[in-house]
Amino acid sequence: MIDFHTHTVWSDGELIPAELVRRAMVVGYRAIGITDHVDESNMETVIAALVRASDSLRGLYDITVIPGVEITHAPPAQIPRLISDARRMGARLVVVHGETPVEPVSPGTSAAAIEGGCDILAHPGFITPQVAAEAARRGIMLEITARKGHSLTNGHVAAVALEAGAGLVVDTDTHAPGDLIDKRMAEKVLRGAGLSDERIAVAFNNAEKLLEKLAGGNFR
């Protein structure tokens, strides 16, 4: 299992990074992105903490730990700059909290995330064909989520993404230990979104390719 979207006590998660990583490894994870919620106010502090955590675990467990962020509820006009700032501060993975139908995310957030060049647009709700097409053009992944509530639009996301040629990955948006899933459950989430076995295999392959791109052989 490769999961690019999880949270720790550095935002609204329940676990410190070391425990999250250990629990993920026991569930069968090969790689985990720790992407705590950030905006202008806390980005530098959170990234520094997660980079330290990732560095401290390198080589000790057989799992790749990727320090990142989830830019969350930021005004759309700020998002492209925040993506750039996050990378400059050391985030190896930048996720943007998409326009899920269960939270009051500002309209235009998804388009701003794609414009800014994030790695993954999380739970993008009723994403439009135009935004999905731009994600496809830029090679930005759209997320199928295992998270309750956010998953309500998984079927829509999958259908629009496939029509536009955009890549899909499956993530958990983990906040608590019970949110972690194994690959078998990830397959069920993807199948529930309407994907065929062939498309499920493509989604897993997308995760492998993104992991290779993010890791670049420079950390474990």
Chain segment 115-130, per-residue pLDDT in tens: 999 999 999 999 999 9
Degrees, nearest 5: CA angle 114-120-126: 70
Q: How far apart are CA 31 and CA 66, in angstroms?
A: 8
pLDDT score at 209? 97
Radius of gyration of the chain (CA): 16
pLDDT score at 22? 98
Q: How confident is the model at residue 217 (pLDDT cuts 50, 70, 90)?
A: very low
Share of the chain above pLDDT 90, in %: 97
Dihedral angle sign, alpha carbons of residues 35, 40, 46, 48: positive
Region 180-188: what's the mean pLDDT?
98
**Beta-strand (E) ranges in 72-140?**
93-97, 120-122
Which domains are seen in the chain, by residue range? Answer: 2-215 (3.20.20.140)
Quick one: 108 exposed, middle or buried, by C-beta within 10 A (0-12, 13-18, 19+)? Answer: middle
What phi, psi does 142 have (nearest 5°)?
Answer: -105, 140
Q: How far apart are CA 95 and CA 114, in angstroms?
A: 10
Quick one: 77 exposed, middle or buried, by C-beta within 10 A (0-12, 13-18, 19+)? Answer: exposed
Region 144-156: what's the mean pLDDT?
98
pLDDT score at 215? 80
| pTM for this predicted structure | 0.96
Dihedral angle sign, alpha carbons of residues 152, 156, 159, 164: negative
Asked if residue 41 has pLDDT above 80, the reply is yes
Q: How confident is the model at residue 145 (pLDDT cuts 50, 70, 90)?
A: very high
Mean model confidence pLDDT for the chain: 97
pLDDT score at 218? 55
**Which of 63, 41, 68, 65 has the alpha carbon at shortest distance from 55?**
65
pLDDT score at 205? 98
Region 191-203: what's the mean pLDDT?
98
Instruction: For 56-112, write each residue's pLDDT tens digit.
Output: 999 999 999 999 999 999 999 999 999 999 999 999 999 999 999 999 999 999 999
Asked whether 93 and 119 are in contact (CB, 8 A), the reply is yes
Quick one: 134 exposed, middle or buried, by C-beta within 10 A (0-12, 13-18, 19+)? Answer: middle
C-alpha distances out from residue 46 to 37, 53, 82, 102, Å: 9, 11, 13, 25
Say which amino acid occupies 32.
I
